[in-house]
Amino acid sequence: MNMRFIALAVSSAFLAIVLPLKIVFDDFHTLWVDVCIWIVSAVFAADMFFSIRRRKVRGQRVMTQYVKMWLVIDAISIIPVAVFLPHSPLQLIQLLKVIHITSFLQEYTRRKPRNAAFLRLGQFGYIILVAIHWIACAWMSIRPENRADDITRYIKSLYWATTTVATVGYGDITPNTNNEMIFAIGVMLFGVVMYGYLIGNIASLLNNMDPARVHHQENLDRVHAFMRYRNIPHELEQKINEYFNYIWEKRLSYDESSVMAMLPAGLKTEVSLYLKREVIERVSMFRNASDEFIKDIAAHIHPSIVLPGEFVFKAGETARSMYFISRGVVQVISTDNETIATLSDGDFFGEMALLHKRKRNASVRASDFTDLYVLDVATFERIVEEHPDFKLQLEETAEQRSK
Ligand code: CMP
């Protein structure tokens, strides 16, 4: 969060709290309060000055936009009306600056959506507290009570404002005059609307704070509902639960392809390279490969998870892909049911049938949760044609394995 926003937020919060108090209480007409108001005006003036300077650099169009939208508001909010008219509600005009700050905040959350939920929650809290404070001050000016001291009057009003806005309404402080009753009706209506608005928004805000967890939980709930509905046996249910735990722990809960589809080609390649960096670093034949080849491979391999004991494929099956192991262990099992090799992180398999255009010569079974990256046959054929080095290395490995 930048310094400009913090300075503006603190200044406007000060005004929002002090100005209504200044209208109601004489005690707030002191030198230090006036000095603080002058400081706030100076902050607003500096902000206007820097806003104009920044926009001038960015060109005429941006400058005209600023003049049309914000110049008047920014200029008015510099005037410290409260210093000259201490009892007049006109001093609240300085709070116009809040409109500009809100738009600044919206722009900030659009650019940095990661903090948006926290900021909106903070904004809600701020609005509620300031609203209750204003209602309390307004209530004091409508209902003069000379017997109590200022602090007691303020606390009593704050208490009334809070119970009324929260629609609790204990009834221990009740409106007597017409004005008081009309004001109380307004505050109650405001409370009801605010309450509904808050309940709706806070639920969605809390969800937005950890969207990945919500997404995962929704998937889990759907699968559990399905399992109950179709009476899935307990053992199978256990396996499904383990799978969901695993993809949550390994952060594989999101469907990558749907997110990637939203990105332009250049960004897609960058994100692919980042997501697949582990497998790219681990597979030995990728280490010395050209950038072009790595980008091509990264864009076309997609993740897949195999559970412990599950077969990736069986001997004799038609080959549709080859596989790179990102993490985990698999066993290569011959047609005689013998384990002929154990492959782990950075190894690959399934290349022989694709190279020689024949059926699988062995089965492959995972001994642990295994993260694989899959290269489909069509892309495999294109890539071996375009990158003879890759083909050569695969052929060498296949030959050694045949022996
Ligand atoms: P493919 O024939 O497509 O399917 C079975 C795979 O097991 C095979 O490709 C190889 O990738 C792998 N494989 C077969 N024999 C061996 C071996 N001796 N060592 C390691 N991997 C093997």
Could you report the per-residue pLDDT of 234-243, keeping only the tens digit for each?
999 999 999 9
Which residue lies with its CA nearest to atom 8 of ligand 1? 350
Q: Report the DSSP beta bridge partners of residue 339.
A: 333
Q: Is the dihedral of CA 387, 391, 392, 397 positive or negative?
A: positive
- The pLDDT of residue 255: 80
| CB distance 336 to 302 below 8 Å | no
| CB distance 247 to 253 below 8 Å | yes
Q: What percent of the chain has pLDDT over 90?
A: 57
Q: Is the pLDDT score of 145 beyond 80?
A: no
pLDDT tens sequence across 347-389: 999 999 999 999 999 999 999 999 999 999 999 999 999 999 9
Q: What does the block give as tokens for 297?
A: 């491979």
- With the most atoms of ligand 1 within 8 angstroms of its CB, the residue from 349, 358, 374, 377 to mutate is 349
**Does ligand 1 lie within 6 Å of residue 359's CB atom?**
no
- With the most atoms of ligand 1 within 8 angstroms of its CB, the residue from 351, 352, 397 to mutate is 352
pLDDT tens sequence across 168-224: 878 888 899 999 999 999 999 999 998 888 888 888 887 777 888 888 999 999 999
**Does ligand 1 lie within 6 Å of residue 353's CB atom?**
yes
| 337 Cα–ligand 1 center, Å | 14
- The pLDDT of residue 5: 84
> Which of 2.10.10.100, 2.60.120.10, 3.40.50.2300, 3.50.50.60 is the CATH number of 256-402?
2.60.120.10
Residues 6+ apart with CB under 8 A from 28: 18, 21, 22, 86
Residue 174's SS3 state is coil
Q: Residue 62: pLDDT band by 50, 70, 90 thresholds?
A: confident
For tokens 């005429």, what's the residue?
A: 60
- DSSP string for 178-197: HHHHHHHHHHHHHHHHHHHH
Residue 304's SS3 state is strand
Residue 339, phi then psi, degrees to nearest 5? -80, 115
Round to whole Å and give the CA distance between 381 and 398: 16
pLDDT tens sequence across 185-200: 999 999 999 888 888 8
Q: What does the block give as tokens for 361?
A: 């010569």
Residue 229, phi then psi, degrees to nearest 5? -65, -40
- Please compute the mean of the pLDDT values over residues 262-270 and round it to a whole number: 92
pLDDT tens sequence across 119-139: 888 888 888 999 999 999 999
For tokens 């900030």, what's the residue?
A: 108
Residues 6+ apart with CB under 8 A from 250: 327, 371
| CB distance 349 to 300 below 8 Å | no
Which of 43, 196, 192, 197 has the alpha carbon at shortest distance from 120?
A: 197
Q: Is the pLDDT score of 342 beyond 90?
A: yes
For tokens 């597979």, what's the residue?
A: 283
Q: Residue 1: pLDDT band by 50, 70, 90 thresholds?
A: low
- With the most atoms of ligand 1 within 8 angstroms of its CB, the residue from 312, 317, 321, 332 to mutate is 332
- The pLDDT of residue 209: 78
- The pLDDT of residue 325: 95
Which of 150, 47, 29, 157 has the alpha carbon at shortest distance from 98?
A: 47
Mean predicted lDDT score pLDDT of the chain: 90
Side by side, which strands form the sheet with 321-327?
Answer: 302-306, 370-376, 321-327, 348-349
Q: Is the pLDDT score of 102 beyond 90?
A: no
Q: Residue 64: pLDDT band by 50, 70, 90 thresholds?
A: confident
**Ligand 1 atom index nearest CA of 361:** 2
**Domain locations along the chain:** 1-111, 212-249, 256-402
Angular region, 329: left φ>0, alpha ψ -120 to 50, beta rest = beta
Side by side, which strands form the sheet with 311-313?
Answer: 311-313, 363-366, 329-333, 339-344
Which residue lies with its CA nearest to atom 9 of ligand 1? 350
Q: Is the pLDDT score of 86 beyond 70?
A: yes
**Does ligand 1 lie within 6 Å of residue 394's CB atom?**
no
Q: Residue 4: pLDDT band by 50, 70, 90 thresholds?
A: confident
Round to whole Å and give the CA distance between 113 and 115: 5
Q: Is the pLDDT score of 84 beyond 80?
A: yes
**Does ligand 1 lie within 6 Å of residue 349's CB atom?**
yes
**Does ligand 1 lie within 6 Å of residue 351's CB atom?**
yes
Q: Is the pLDDT score of 294 beyond 80?
A: yes
**Ligand 1 atom index nearest CA of 353:** 3
- The pLDDT of residue 380: 95
